[in-house]
Amino acid sequence: MDLPLFLQQLLNGISLGSLYALIAIGYTMVYGIIRLINFAHGDVLMVSTYFTYFGISVYALPWWLSVIIAILLTALLGILIDLGAYRPVRHAPRVSALITAIGVSFLLENLGLVVFGGRPKAFYRPDFLNKTYELAGVHVFSLSIWVPLVTALLLVLVFLLLYRTRVGAAMRAVAKDMEMVQLMGVDVNRVISLAFAVGSALAAAGGIMWAMKYPQINPLMGIIPGLKAFVAAVLGGIGNIHGAVLGGFLLGVMEILLVAFLPSLAGYRDAFAFILLILILLFRPTGLVGKGASG
């Protein structure tokens, strides 16, 4: 394999990894605070793509406006799911919460099938993303550059939120010691809702970019990216936001390079993430960055 091809694949990997990172943050934020694996997280990103789709095709809104509205609506959806399904089982045994999350995931998927139908729909991709540039012998797809850029911007915003605002500090505190924070008069429920909102918004951004990449959407599209982003979160260290970002990029790059170097194993691409997950949980369950509060 020659250098230009390798660089191209590396860029693909970083691009894919950005999407995993964005989605992984949502998992890790929620787990860090309420110790719940939000199975429905991947499906939430699916809903965001449909929101965008309807904005563009039904309401004839400009694409960027649809995207923004979709992200906001998805954040709201995240809050509603927490309120409706997870809060009632907040004090139930952990298994109950897990089962509830699986139920919500299935509900979203099948509701999607019922409302939108199973056939994939073509997703809009703005023109400027369709171009291909050539840099030093490498064919670079415009989208592949924009995704990491947008991701970087969003990550900066998230870290600003967590480290420069009071609500961010509250989120980090709740992840460390919920009881203590409650005793100090902080409304923990509000913090949890915020975590769901931010996580879902990021997943929405990731999902919309994913939809632009492929470019089609269907009600079951969130399952695989969701599971892989979860693996990324665990790889980095579940509950740790830096870990989620690191894990996301690592997983994306590893996956692309695997397919590039060993094309005969391409069919095992999805299994690779699971095998990696099993290995991590067995040998280093605290992940690469280790256990910490969210951030």
DSSP string, 223-287: HHHHHHHHHHHHHH-TT-HHHHHHHHHHHHHHHHHHHHH-GGGGGGHHHHHHHHHHHHHHH-TTT
Nearer to another protein, 44 or 201 (CB): 44
Across-strand partners of 38?
none
CA dihedral 67, 211, 197, 104 (to 10 degrees): 130
Residue 118 touches another protein, criterion: CB under 8 A: yes
Residue 62 touches another protein, criterion: CB under 8 A: no
- Asked whether the beta carbons of 191 and 99 are under 8 A apart, the reply is no
Across-strand partners of 134?
139
Residue 111 touches another protein, criterion: CB under 8 A: yes
Residue 176 touches another protein, criterion: CB under 8 A: no
Nearer to another protein, 125 or 269 (CB): 269
The correct pick among 5, 113, 122, 157 for binding another protein (CB under 8 A) is: 113
Contacts of 187 (CB under 8 A, 6+ apart): none
The correct pick among 54, 124, 159, 268 for binding another protein (CB under 8 A) is: 268
Total residues in contact with another protein, by rule CB under 8 A: 37
CB of 106 to another protein, least distance (A): 4
Cα 148 versus chain centre, distance = 14
Residue 262 touches another protein, criterion: CB under 8 A: no
Instruction: List binders of another protein among 78-97 (CB under 8 A).
Output: 85, 88-89, 92, 94-96
Residue 110 touches another protein, criterion: CB under 8 A: yes
Residue 131 touches another protein, criterion: CB under 8 A: no
Residue 232 touches another protein, criterion: CB under 8 A: no
CB of 96 to another protein, least distance (A): 5
Residue 165 touches another protein, criterion: CB under 8 A: no
Residue with the two structure tokens 């923004």: 68
Mapping DSSP onto H, E and C, the string for 168-182 reads HHHHHHHHHCHHHHH
The correct pick among 23, 104, 203, 251 for binding another protein (CB under 8 A) is: 104
CB of 232 to another protein, least distance (A): 13
For residue 215, give the H/E element and its range: none
- The Cα–Cα gap between 207 and 221 comes to 9
Dihedral sign computed on CA atoms, order 230, 231, 232, 233: positive
Which stretch in 1-9, 102-110, 170-178, 182-190 sits in contact with another protein by CB under 8 A?
102-110
The correct pick among 227, 254, 260, 288 for binding another protein (CB under 8 A) is: 227
Instruction: List binders of another protein among 2-61 (CB under 8 A).
Output: 35, 37
Contacts of 243 (CB under 8 A, 6+ apart): 28, 233, 235, 236, 237, 287, 288, 289, 290, 292
Quote the Cα angle for 51-54-60, to 5°: 130
Nearer to another protein, 108 or 198 (CB): 108
Q: Is 213 helix (H, G, I), strand (E, B) or coil?
A: helix
Residue 290 touches another protein, criterion: CB under 8 A: no
Site of interaction with another protein (CB under 8 A): 35, 37, 85, 88-89, 92, 94-96, 98-100, 102-104, 106-107, 109-111, 113-114, 118, 227, 230, 234, 267-268, 270-271, 274-275, 277-278, 281-282, 285
